[in-house]
Structures are given as structure tokens and as C-alpha cells.
Amino acid sequence: MFIFLLLPLAEMVHRMEKAILFICDGLGDLPVKGRTPLEAARKKNIDRLAKEGINGMMSTLGEGIIPGSDTGHLQLLGYSPREFYPGRGPLEALGAGIDLEHGDVAFRCNFGSVDAKGKLLDRRAGRISTAEAAEIGKALDGMMVDGVLVIFRPTVEHRASVVFRGRGLCAAISDTDPHGEGEVLACKPKDGSPEARRTAEIVNKFMKIAHEKMSAHHLNLKRMKERKLPANVALLRGTGMFHKIPGLNERFGIAGTCIAGGALYKGVCRYVGMDAQNVKGATGTKDTDLDAKVNAAIAALKTKDFVLLHVKATDNFGHDGDFEGKRKMIEKIDAAVGKLMKWGGAYIVLTGDHSTPVLLKGHSADPVPICIWGKNVRTDDVKKFGERACAHGGLGHILGSDVMPVILGLLLKAKMYGS
């Protein structure tokens, strides 16, 4: 009898292992006057995490490869972008809450402004408001073009996701967004297949109908009367086809939730079979409500094995070249890490998806510090979390592809190879 009681208990203990992958976007940096933002920040909780945990440096996609936001996150979740990258369009569409179906072709879209001759006046339609864009977008959502359904979903300000759903579509087609000045481009097939030719034709028909509907929209007529630029063209880019792939649960036996402000991160997580929460106050900016995100992560871990907790602003400050902004954001993150440590119900893996050095104002291939903290992890001699200190860590120099296997080990979900 005793034995029978013990067995389910032992199993329960196994099932209770939890982990948080805490990604500070663009965290890594280069020294400015001898120190990186991470090294300059006062961050007693994160430093204690490093002291009590095991540390290292992580090259997300390999030495010298600059990760994008999409490819970096895919790799950290155990999905090699070489095998699984669907293009930005489908990830943004998933992040916008669209339930994609196998074979859908998705785009990122900007509301833009063109004159009567088709010359592009503005790629952002005079920075149209989210509310106005949502209203104009309704006129485009649900239209059928040659038997293909168009899903048009405005998101933030001038941005939208657009999905074409129907049989025999193909993503080997060009953008209609000129990505700069000039005329709106005609969509062209990129290969000789009849599918690419037909899809390009359908996109061009959509462009024409959308232009007509938008030009006639009462809000645009009102904007023009007010001498504002009309949102009268849909600029498409980031084309990709969605294929259903085996999710984290199917591949690794874990259930995960995404806590993020930015749509892209939710999209990546939904793509790999996690759910994505809309946390009130999680904005993907420096004003994001970190406390609300931490609370949401803790709540999610009551039923889930794994949370990806994403903070975007570190990357934004890197892009802006704002050292002090990045340093202060890290100090805000320190409070969030402290709260998670105090709660103590999960392993914490703290890292970034790539470096965004303030000196470069863009992503770089420099590896990112990583710390793993929790009861069954080795420690090392690292005392502070930073680019120089973590290079001495017990994890050594690892790759992004090592991260999910290590997390599976912590969750006791790693499988023995052999016997």
C-alpha cells in the first residue's frame, strides 16, 4: 500500500518542475567608457541570481550570425529557423490573434498614402491613429478575391496583418511595399510556378479593390477635408506561408505560455504551440507594467510547465543609442527578477535574444550573458551578471540551440539516449 502511495507522489514531484525563460530583448551590449549598460546597472537581485546560479555566454544562432527578433526567439524555443522559419508575415499574423490555417499566405502591412498617380506620399499614412486604422480596416476584412478570403487585421497605429486564405496559394511573390520613396509596386511571382503567378494576380486585384474602398471611405474623405493624408493603400511585405508544425507539447511534452507586449513574440510562441496572454499594461515599451507581467507568469505556472517572459524595451533603448535608458530599464527588470526569486516556484533562465549595442544602434552577433537559477543547478564562481563576468561562467559558451534542451533537463523532460 505504501508503495502505491509513493509512486503517484514521485510522479507529482516530477510534474511540478517549472521554468521561466526571461528574455530581455537585445540585452547584450558593448562597453561604453569601460562598461556595458548591464555592467553599469545597479541590480542586486540579478547579481544574486548570477551568484546562486550557473552562468555563461550564449550565441543565439552561432558566432557572427546577427539574430533577428523572430529567428532568435524561434531558436531559443528549440526551433531552428533554418528548418522552421515561416517568414515574418505569418508570425505577426499569429501575434495579432489570427488563427492561421495550413497554406495561408500572410503579410505585414502598412497603411500608406498615395496620390492620384500612384506615387507614395507616406509609408505610414500620416501616422494614422490605431482607432481610425481599425475603422478603415473593417472595410477590407472578409473580402473575397477570385475565391480567396482576405483577412485584414489592423494592429497598432499604421500597422496591420493581412492573410490570404484559399487553395493553391504560394508565398514566392514580391512585396507591394517599396520600402522607401517611389511608387507602390506591383506584386510579381518570384518563380515560374502557376501558383506564384495566380497568387501575385490575386494580390494585385486586392491592391486595386482595397485602394478603391479606402479612397471612398468616409474617414479618409474626412481626413482629406482636414488636410491630413488619407490611408488609401495597403503596403504588403514580409510574405510567408503558414505550415502547421509540431508544438512544444508534441515535441517535448511541455505546455507553455507567452507573456509579452509585442505581437511578434506572441506570434512566435503561438507558432510553436504555446498560448499567448494579453496582459493589461504589457505594452512592449519602456512603460510596460513589469509587475503585471510577473504576476501573470506566476499565475500561468499554476497550470503550465513553462513561461516565456519577454521584455522589449532593452532592445528599443539599444536601437535609440540610449545607454542611460537601457541601464535604467535593466534596473526595473531587476525588481521583476527579485519578485520571481522571492516567489521561487520555478527555475529562472535569464538572457537576451541577441545584443543591441547602443554604440551600433542595431542588432549585433555578440553573444549574450545567460544565467540559470534554481534548486537543481550547479553554481559557479560568477558573482555578477554581465558580459565580462559571465564569460567565466560554468556553462561556458553555449548556443541558442542548447537552451531548450537545458530547460527540458530542468523540467525533467529530457529523454535518455540509449539505456
Q: Which of 124, 190, 339, 392 binds a second copy (CB under 8 A)?
A: 392
Helix (H) or strand (E) holding 348: strand 347-351
Q: Which of 25, 47, 70, 305 binds a second copy (CB under 8 A)?
A: 70
Q: Which of 147, 180, 192, 418 binds a second copy (CB under 8 A)?
A: 418
To a second copy, the closest distance from the beta carbon of 47 in angstroms equals 17
To a second copy, the closest distance from the beta carbon of 395 in angstroms equals 8
Residue 254 vs 395, nearer CB to a second copy? 395
Q: Which of 173, 214, 349, 404 binds a second copy (CB under 8 A)?
A: 404
All three cell numbers of 207, joined, read: 491592391
Binding segment toward a second copy, per CB under 8 A, in 125-133, 143-151, 289-297, 354-362: 354-362
> First-to-last CA distance in the chain?
30
Place of cell 507581467: 293
Residue 194 vs 405, nearer CB to a second copy? 405
Helix (H) or strand (E) holding 58: strand 54-59
Binding segment toward a second copy, per CB under 8 A, in 172-180, 225-233, 299-307, 381-389: 381-389
SS3 303: coil
Q: Alpha-carbon distance 370 to 347, whole Å? A: 13
* 178 scored as a contact of a second copy (CB under 8 A): no
Q: How many CB atoms lie within 10 A of CB 104?
A: 24
To a second copy, the closest distance from the beta carbon of 398 in angstroms equals 6
To a second copy, the closest distance from the beta carbon of 326 in angstroms equals 16
CA distances (Å), 413 to each of 17, 246, 271, 306, 370, in order? Answer: 9, 17, 21, 12, 21
The half-sphere exposure of 94 on its side-chain side, counting CA atoms within 13 A, is: 31
Q: Please, is 70 exposed, middle or buried when counting C-beta atoms within 10 Å of its C-beta (0-12, 13-18, 19+)?
A: buried
Q: Which of 184, 380, 384, 385 binds a second copy (CB under 8 A)?
A: 380
Q: Which residues contact 299 (CB under 8 A, 6 or more apart)?
A: none
- 86-125 positions binding a second copy, by CB under 8 A: 88
To a second copy, the closest distance from the beta carbon of 216 in angstroms equals 34
To a second copy, the closest distance from the beta carbon of 358 in angstroms equals 11
Residue 145 vs 372, nearer CB to a second copy? 372
* 71 scored as a contact of a second copy (CB under 8 A): yes
* 245 scored as a contact of a second copy (CB under 8 A): no
Q: Which residues contact 218 (CB under 8 A, 6 or more apart)?
A: none
DSSP H stretches of helix in 85-235: 88-95, 130-138, 194-215, 218-225
* 53 scored as a contact of a second copy (CB under 8 A): no
Q: Which residues contact 235 (CB under 8 A, 6 or more apart)?
A: 109, 110, 111, 112, 120, 123, 175, 176, 177, 178, 184
Residues at the site binding a second copy, with contacts judged by CB under 8 A:
30-31, 34, 36, 57, 61-72, 74, 81, 85, 88, 238, 357, 359-360, 363-366, 376-381, 387-388, 391-399, 402, 404-406, 408-409, 412, 414-419
